[in-house]
């Protein structure tokens, strides 16, 4: 297999948001500087956290950051595009570290392709995914199931998407998700109900991994992080 055609997939388990944010930044710099040459997809689950993108408006925060923190939820200002969103247990969060110079230098194309990957993955799980005109993310039957917010530096991507798998949806009441008034959030578990696979988290990871490989024309390949010192990571590839 040609090295340029692989998509390294790193399953990081459950990690605090701040650690993975710094990891993304390090990996983005490494890709820019040529220390790494392969596309990478980080898959992770976070402790409860609200992130404020560059487009966050006051109206998107019915509670102040201090009030949110008082409820045991972290708050981070980040460089990604988009409005406010929530990450937490039961959610599959993905951070693609891709060099768009080897794909297509077009941010609109990239956003639509990430959406397509999630729609394909949801289809594998038996859920009809759809877009909403003028909005970024993925819906099903009018309910929002996945959020997307990205940042790109020198055509290298980071930040990414959050797919609600078995997320406790009440957390979204802390914010106006993605700044969309009246939006109804849903999850894979809520949509599938009793038909959900026994190991829904694994089924969602597998579906997303396969779909990302397909739409970005890459072959998923596991990145082995078992011996990685997460606090001061060395690049394992």
Residues in the chain, how many? 237
Six token digits for residue 165: 């798998």
Told to judge if 178 belongs to the known catalytic residues of this protein, a careful annotator would answer yes
Six token digits for residue 235: 């690049």
The crossing angle, in degrees rounded to 10, of helices 107-125 and 200-215 is 140
Cβ-contact 84, 52 below 8 angstroms: yes
Six token digits for residue 119: 């729609």
Cβ-contact 204, 165 below 8 angstroms: yes
Six token digits for residue 42: 């980080």
Six token digits for residue 183: 């939006």
Catalytic residue among 10, 178, 188, 204: 178
Local structure of 148: helix, strand or coil: strand
Instruction: Give me the residues paired with residue 55 across strands.
Output: none
Task: Indicate which residues carry an active-site annotation.
Answer: 178
């Amino acid at each position: 297999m040609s090295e340029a055609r692989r998509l390294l997939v790193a399953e990081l388990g459950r990690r605090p948001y701040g650690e993975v944010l710094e990891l993304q930044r390090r990996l983005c710099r490494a890709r820019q500087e040529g220390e790494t040459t392969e596309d990478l997809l980080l898959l992770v689950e976070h402790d409860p956290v609200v992130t404020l993108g560059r487009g966050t408006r006051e109206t998107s925060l019915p509670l102040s950051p201090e009030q949110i923190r008082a409820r045991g939820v972290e708050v981070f200002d980040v460089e990604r595009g988009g409005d406010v969103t929530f990450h937490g247990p039961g959610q599959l969060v993905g951070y693609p570290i891709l060099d768009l110079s080897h794909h297509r230098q077009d941010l609109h194309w990239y956003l639509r392709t990430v959406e397509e990957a999630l729609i394909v993955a949801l289809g594998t799980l038996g859920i009809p995914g759809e877009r909403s005109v003028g909005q970024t993310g993925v819906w099903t039957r009018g309910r929002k199931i996945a959020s997307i917010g990205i940042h790109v530096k020198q055509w290298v991507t980071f930040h990414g998407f959050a797919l609600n798998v078995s997320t406790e949806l009440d957390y979204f009441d802390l914010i106006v998700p993605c700044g969309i008034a009246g939006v109804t959030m849903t999850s894979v578990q809520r949509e599938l109900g009793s038909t959900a696979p026994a190991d829904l988290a694994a089924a969602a990871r597998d579906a997303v991994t396969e779909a990302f490989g397909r739409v970005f024309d890459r072959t998923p390949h596991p990145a082995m992080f078992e011996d990685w010192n997460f606090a001061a990571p060395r690049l394992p590839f």
